[in-house]
Amino acid sequence: MNRSALRERGPVLASLLLTLAFGLLCFVRLATPSTIYFDETYYPAAARAILHLSRQLNPEHPMVGKELIAAGIALYGNNAFGWRFFPALFGTLALFAAMRALWFATLSRFATLAGGWLLATGFMLFVQSRIAMLDIFMVCFVMIALWMCAAAMREAERARWRLIIAGIALGCAMGSKWNAVPVAILPGVAFLAIRAKHAGWRVLFSTRGAPIPGISLAEATLWLGLLPLAVYWLTYWPAFLMAYDPVSPWGFIGTHRHMIALQESTGKLSHPYRSEWYQWVLNLKPIWYLYREADGAQRGIFMVGNPLTMLIGLPALLWCVWAGLFRDHRAALAVSILYAASLGLWVIAPKPVQFYFHYLLPGCFLLAALAIALDRLWQAGWRKVSLAVLAASAALFAFFYPILSAAPLAGEQSFRLWNWLPGWV
């Protein structure tokens, strides 16, 4: 452990400045369009129903994201800014949490700031932070949990309260969207595997050795296993109180069977933007969330990954797998496993209609892998190459910014400027 680096706490100020800049951009034209678009058809309505405790709308998804959208409506009214306030806030927090997780995972200032820069200019986090959907809340809580877990492994004296926060965040992540489940189980599984290697048959109650001295597997199971489940259950409290067809607090198995049935029933639907996981990996099937005249001008919002970093992130990810397996680069191995788990869900998921925005969480881990690979180039003296990638990522973000932020466009055919591939129509 690099104690002097830990005392320095990493590039906190630079991370905060980058987060602030990203957050300010998120709030520019946040209320444009002033009407609902794309999947906002579902979630603000469900949020209003929560506020009135009338009935559970959109019951195929858990509650946390809808509850937070409802909080925004309660604060700022039933309008576009109210629907999107908390998505923008949590998207901004997700960026900061991701950088803190990278710092504690790598203890590298360059990897930390490069990861934040790539995520901020990677298109997907920005676009998803500006729409009233559920995915951004799930990503934010996952990043908070990973931040806390990575920090707990570095600073054992503060580990207990960090694991408690991690457990709460994991419960909220699953309570935002089920996409989080494969990632949510990994901290506990990793703790078990590492402690078993060091403690042998005393694995359950031993507090000695990695990953966190002073914390037994039994205690870790409480904070990373039982606490998230309890938090997840509590997130349904408004659903228990609905006036019409409330959820039974003790009938969770039946409720979740119904939710799964609703998810699988989407196979009866067709959608022009439905896609497969391998298309997400290659950035082949993005989504025009908006392309029409809105608020007095032609506007577009394009949910697509940065065409540079989404692709060069793939060989970087392969390098991380190699470095993790054969060079004991634990951070590289961790992001590889997180990427595989978060994407693997969609490879085997029975939900037949899937969309590119489901790649948001795997995409975050892909960019973390790219940051770690660039850090290795930086340390090896290839600094111009690393900086060139970061500069190119920012340049592409600036070029695509009008159709990421609903800026006024010249006319109906403006999309052709950014229509680089046949599947991008």
Phi-psi region of 222 (alpha: psi -120 to 50; beta: other; left: phi over 0): alpha
pLDDT at 1: 47
Domains of the chain, residue spans: 11-133+236-258+266-424
Rounded distance between C-alpha atoms, residue 153 and residue 105, angstroms: 9
Structural contact between residues 71 and 88, judged by C-beta atoms closer than 8 angstroms: no
pLDDT in tens, 105-132: 999 999 999 999 999 999 999 999 999 9
CB-based contacts of 388, cutoff 8 Å, min separation 6: none
At residue 161, the 3 state secondary structure works out as helix
pTM score, two decimals?
0.95
Rounded distance between C-alpha atoms, residue 26 and residue 28, angstroms: 6
User: Residue 115: how many CB atoms within 10 A of its CB?
Assistant: 30
In angstroms, the Cα distances linking 48 to 67, 79, 111, 122, 246 are: 9, 11, 41, 32, 16
Q: Which residues pair with 409 in a beta bridge?
A: 298
CB-based contacts of 119, cutoff 8 Å, min separation 6: 95, 98, 125, 364, 367, 368
What is the pLDDT tens value at each position of the chain, 425 positions in all? 455 555 557 899 999 999 999 999 999 999 999 999 999 999 999 999 999 999 999 888 999 999 999 999 999 999 999 999 999 999 999 999 999 999 999 999 999 999 999 999 999 999 999 999 999 999 999 999 999 999 999 988 899 999 999 999 999 999 999 999 999 999 999 999 998 887 777 888 888 888 999 999 999 999 999 999 999 999 999 999 999 989 888 888 888 888 888 877 765 556 778 899 999 999 999 999 999 999 999 999 999 999 999 999 999 999 999 999 999 999 999 999 999 999 998 998 776 678 999 999 999 999 999 999 999 999 999 999 999 999 999 999 999 999 999 999 999 999 999 999 888 87
